Structure 1
Amino acid sequence: MRYCFFRMGLDHPGVQEWFGGMYESMFAALRRCGHDVILSLDAPDVSCDVLVVPMGGGQDRTTARAMAAFPGPVVVYAPSARSWFRTDYLRRWRDRLVLAYGTDASDFSAESYASLGIPYLHLPFASDPEVMHPLDVETCHDVVFVGNANSGTGRYRFIDELVGRVGKERLLLIGPGWERYDVHPRSMAWGPDLNKVYAQSRVCVNLHNDEQCLGGDVQEDANNRLFDLAMAGRPQVSNAPLVVERYFAPDEVLAYSDPGEWADAVERLLQDPVAASSLGMAARTRALRDHTWDARARVLSEAISNAVGVSAGATRGGWSVMRMRDTLLPPYSSGELVAKVARRLRRVMGRGTVIR
């Protein structure tokens, strides 16, 4: 089967930097499953059997244009339904949509898509053992966290606690938003250099945003770092234990919801390198068994094949004025637009930014 992945946000330089390498690993895994994979940043390749499109994050209009240009079945890569679920928009394109998949494990996402007759596949992130793996290098950092402080709420609580315990000079923070700790904002692309930074650290910490761990009935969304640190064989202390326990046992990844307990665990591992090494190797063993992109590719390709098979021969809806509207305008009602602008203004004012 021939898949055309449309943009997937990779036309944005920041997304390309962080997620581009991961998509390359995923595409390579799908090819090993026997599929042809094309990434299109412009127009979809109409010679493909299936179009895969992203939803949410301001991409709905360009996604509608891609679906309008593509004659075949469409698979949706979706954020959590709590973050994005446009009922009217999805209903207008329902006859084209054979499957939705995403990293959110909550019942809410599955039930939201089921309400429109669209099957939903929980497909968590994974990692690539050819990129993330143990290295025989000297450790030069005590604790490292590579991540964005601005991508959601809750991370400062944990970092504040840790800085109070070990001091900011023992903590390497890489990413935007850490200026309060005198850290110059910078980013690091996913790939071998990131793996080296992990390998040079005695303990690696992982933080999910509050929004990612609201519970199995609302949103439960493991980040990619959980799997990358495990695949790299690094001792990892994470927050969001209810999220982590879906994928790793307590003797593979330590996880605590309380910042004090979380920082306690970091200190224990710093004092016990043997236990830290054992934790990291156990996590890698689990990641190699269950959380490779090859494993995810097998699940996704089977789900797509089944969904396309079920939809074969289904009647496709014709063109409509409202579908044309989706290709020209964002799919928001006037009330939603007012609320969206108000939220944006509150965020800007909260940062103390002058609105011009």
Structure 2
Amino acid sequence: MNLLQTHLDGIRKTFPNLVSALTESGGGVLTIAPSREGSPSATQNGQWIHSAYDPRKEAQSWAALHAKEWHAGELGVVLGAGLLYHVEALVALKPAGARLAVAIADIAAFKDALAVRPLGPWFNAIEWIWGSPDEMATQLASKSAPLRFFTYAPAARPYATQHQVLDVELRRLLAARQHGRLHVAVVGPIYGGSLPIAGYVVRALESLGHRVSWVDHSIHHASYERFNTFHDPRHRLSMQSRFADVLSMGTLTELSEDPPDLVLAMAQAPMSLGALEHLRRKKFMTAMWFVENYRHLTYWQQLAPGYDYWFTIQQNECHDALRRAGAPHVSYLPMAADPSVHRPLSLTMSEQLEFGSDLSFVGAGYANRRAVLPRWIGKDWTFKVWGNEWDGADAVAPVLQRNGARIDTDTCLKVFNATAINLNLHSNTGEGLDPAADFVNPRTFELAAAGAFQLVDQRALLPECFTEDEIVSFEGTDEVPSLIRTWLRDPVGRRTIADAARRRVMLQHTYEHRMKDLLAELGMREPDRLGSILRGDRTAEVLTAQTTTPPELAPMLRQFAPDQRVELKDMAAQIRARGPRTELSREDLLILMLDSYRTETRDLV
């Protein structure tokens, strides 16, 4: 029996283009080998894509674990086709009303799989998604059902790059369709570089129409700093740690009094692992945007298992390290700019004189900057250095402004706009350029948003954010003097590049873009929770029209505005607002009882 032809005939009517692609493909990607149990298994590039012992039993265990998350009405999407043992096992556990699709990353490998074993009637009920990652993302985005992703790691591993592109493009498409409104609690740090970013995140979420509760711990900074006066470092560290625990408990109290849909913490937010585990037990969804270099600040090692989702400004090794430390989900989310803050300015003549120069640098005095910046002093251009933590940097002293005082954001913007060439040198604990130059710092996006020309040290992730026509970079410090001379002679060229960089930021790199991407990612991973809200499935109009809504609730739902999001607590509040003498129906009593139970179970303190 020709198994391949039998399977092609089974899907020819529904997926004729897929059959054509399979017919034209040569196959030969998978190496088929019998498992110890006897069923066929396979390797790809020397790696097993199913168990070498019992692929069917392994697939059933995988499906039993993942099917628990699958709900009626959802479209399950499997990444990693392999020999389809796991897909067959998942079909057997499919909830009523759910559908299943398989993303085909490699037509040739899929053709090999169809020739190995008989697949049965279930095979013809699968929805097949294929093409380039962008094409597959478009196909998935067009589906009306919520998406639930299942990644079968052994078979998906060879196509990690394609799946990453698919994820990014699908996230972008879904972000553009968000219209539901969330309640997001943003937990900020006590101090540090992520503190202003927390403010930008709050503003972006509010601009997108979401309700935001900002747990702002910066008001406690003075008290936290007071512990630095203790001479014994053991006392200082002990008190700072206990103080952070108190703030963590305070956060739990705030969340308990006004429970959000999502708790989004910024880097260095005072959230202990115990507090995060408590939130998980109470069914709160948590995410961390770790806008730090994971190599330098390593507290993530203790907190990795605590957050449901991690978003980082680094990839690859960073994601692997977080997963090894216990992080359930890790995604890439680069930095951005806030156009309401980082913008072009018209400066007065006195401001231009005070802040202007041919060359400038704004930032703290890290070791590599102390070693590198003096090389560019005393040349045939004016140079000004702004920022703090330059104590003892005698070689920088001649160009250090305001005696090394910290400058605020408004002053930074004046420097950016007044300077011909802004140096953007990423921090590093060594004495040269960062040997592991991957992430792109906030300054890159902020300078671009301000319409300022910059020279930035080359970063592995920079080409994903800007083209060579938008940002000028350098790979070695020896290149910089020549680049400075070249661009000082070309003001028109500087303006052209700076304008292009600003257009790119406005098109792709604002905090609104980042928050849309973050929420789209969470919506994909949690289709029945955040996803349903973002899709607008919780509005009074949609709930009234749903066949699963008891008809007795329709009159109550019609009392809300059609586009208003309605939750159990809203319906309970509406009932209580009728007054104590109102006769309650059976449905009213059930709603009040459930809301009372909800309040008790979500009580965090």
Fold conserved between structures, TM > 0.5: yes
Greater relative contact order (CA < 8 Å, ≥ 6 in sequence): 1
Contact 1:222 1:243 in 2 (8 A): yes
Give how far 1:177 is off: 3.6
Q: Rate the CA distance shift 1:298–1:174 in 2: closer, same or farther, 3 A.
A: same
For 1:82, which of 288, 295, 303 is the aligned residue?
295
Q: Scaled by the length of structure 2, what TM-score is found?
A: 0.44
Q: Scaled by the length of structure 1, what TM-score is found?
A: 0.72
Give the equivalent residue in structure 2 for 1:336: none
For 1:165, which of 368, 372, 379 is the aligned residue?
379
Are positions 1:228 and 2:442 aligned together?
no
Give the equivalent residue in structure 2 for 1:142: 358
For 1:98, which of 308, 320, 337 is the aligned residue?
308
Matches within 5 A, 1:45-64: 45-46=255-256, 47-54=259-266, 62-64=271-273
For 2:338 and 2:312, locate their aligned partners in 1 and report how far apart those are by CA, in whole Å.
19
Give the equivalent residue in structure 1 for 2:107: none
Q: Rate the CA distance shift 1:52–1:240 in 2: closer, same or farther, 3 A.
A: same
Are positions 1:129 and 2:343 aligned together?
no
For 2:418 and 2:362, locate their aligned partners in 1 and report how far apart those are by CA, in whole Å.
13
For 1:208, which of 422, 426, 443 is the aligned residue?
426
Are positions 1:245 and 2:466 aligned together?
no
Contact 1:175 1:187 in 2 (8 A): yes
Are positions 1:282 and 2:463 aligned together?
no
**CA shift digits 1:150-173 (9 cap, x unpaired):** 3xx422343122114346xx2111
Give the equivalent residue in structure 2 for 1:32: 207
**CA shift digits 1:135-163 (9 cap, x unpaired):** 2335432212110113xx42234312211
Contact 1:176 1:185 in 2 (8 A): yes
For 1:88 and 1:285, locate their aligned partners in 2 and report how far apart those are by CA, in whole Å.
40
Are positions 1:185 and 2:404 aligned together?
yes
For 1:283 and 1:103, locate their aligned partners in 2 and report how far apart those are by CA, in whole Å.
20
Give how far 1:210 is off: 3.5
Amino acid paired to 2:363: G
Amino acid paired to 1:175: G
For 2:316, which of 107, 113, 128 is the aligned residue?
107
Give the equivalent residue in structure 1 for 2:575: none
Give how far 1:90 is off: 3.5
Contact 1:144 1:172 in 2 (8 A): yes
The higher radius of gyration belongs to 2
**CA shift digits 1:187-221 (9 cap, x unpaired):** 1222x332122111111110112469544xxx622
Contact 1:213 1:240 in 2 (8 A): no
For 2:455 and 2:464, locate their aligned partners in 1 and report how far apart those are by CA, in whole Å.
15
**CA shift digits 1:229-285 (9 cap, x unpaired):** 111111111112434323111221111121121232122222221111112111111
Q: Rate the CA distance shift 1:243–1:161 in 2: closer, same or farther, 3 A.
A: farther
Give the equivalent residue in structure 2 for 1:262: 480
For 2:303 and 2:196, locate their aligned partners in 1 and report how far apart those are by CA, in whole Å.
31
For 1:103 and 1:117, locate their aligned partners in 2 and report how far apart those are by CA, in whole Å.
15
Contact 2:273 2:302 in 1 (8 A): no
Contact 1:101 1:122 in 2 (8 A): yes
Amino acid paired to 1:130: S
* SS of 1:26 mapped into structure 2: helix
Contact 1:214 1:220 in 2 (8 A): no
Contact 1:203 1:235 in 2 (8 A): yes
* SS of 2:287 mapped into structure 1: strand
For 1:262 and 1:117, locate their aligned partners in 2 and report how far apart those are by CA, in whole Å.
40
Are positions 1:3 and 2:184 aligned together?
yes
For 1:31 and 1:286, locate their aligned partners in 2 and report how far apart those are by CA, in whole Å.
23
Contact 1:54 1:63 in 2 (8 A): no
For 1:67 and 1:48, locate their aligned partners in 2 and report how far apart those are by CA, in whole Å.
14
Give how far 1:81 is off: 4.0
Q: Rate the CA distance shift 1:31–1:307 in 2: closer, same or farther, 3 A.
A: farther
Contact 1:25 1:128 in 2 (8 A): yes
Q: Identity percentage over the alignment?
A: 18
Q: Which moved more, 1:227-236 or 1:130-139?
A: 130-139
For 2:357 and 2:503, locate their aligned partners in 1 and report how far apart those are by CA, in whole Å.
24
Amino acid paired to 2:211: D
For 1:76 and 1:69, locate their aligned partners in 2 and report how far apart those are by CA, in whole Å.
16
* SS of 1:165 mapped into structure 2: coil
For 1:311 and 1:107, locate their aligned partners in 2 and report how far apart those are by CA, in whole Å.
28
Root mean square deviation, CA, Å: 2.7
For 1:23 and 1:206, locate their aligned partners in 2 and report how far apart those are by CA, in whole Å.
22
Q: Rate the CA distance shift 1:3–1:66 in 2: closer, same or farther, 3 A.
A: farther
Structure 1 gaps, min length 5: 313-356
Are positions 1:291 and 2:547 aligned together?
no
Structure 2 gaps, min length 5: 1-181, 218-246, 531-605
For 1:221 and 1:74, locate their aligned partners in 2 and report how far apart those are by CA, in whole Å.
24
For 2:389 and 2:480, locate their aligned partners in 1 and report how far apart those are by CA, in whole Å.
21
Contact 2:263 2:285 in 1 (8 A): yes
Contact 1:6 1:66 in 2 (8 A): no
For 1:136 and 1:88, locate their aligned partners in 2 and report how far apart those are by CA, in whole Å.
47
Amino acid paired to 1:158: V
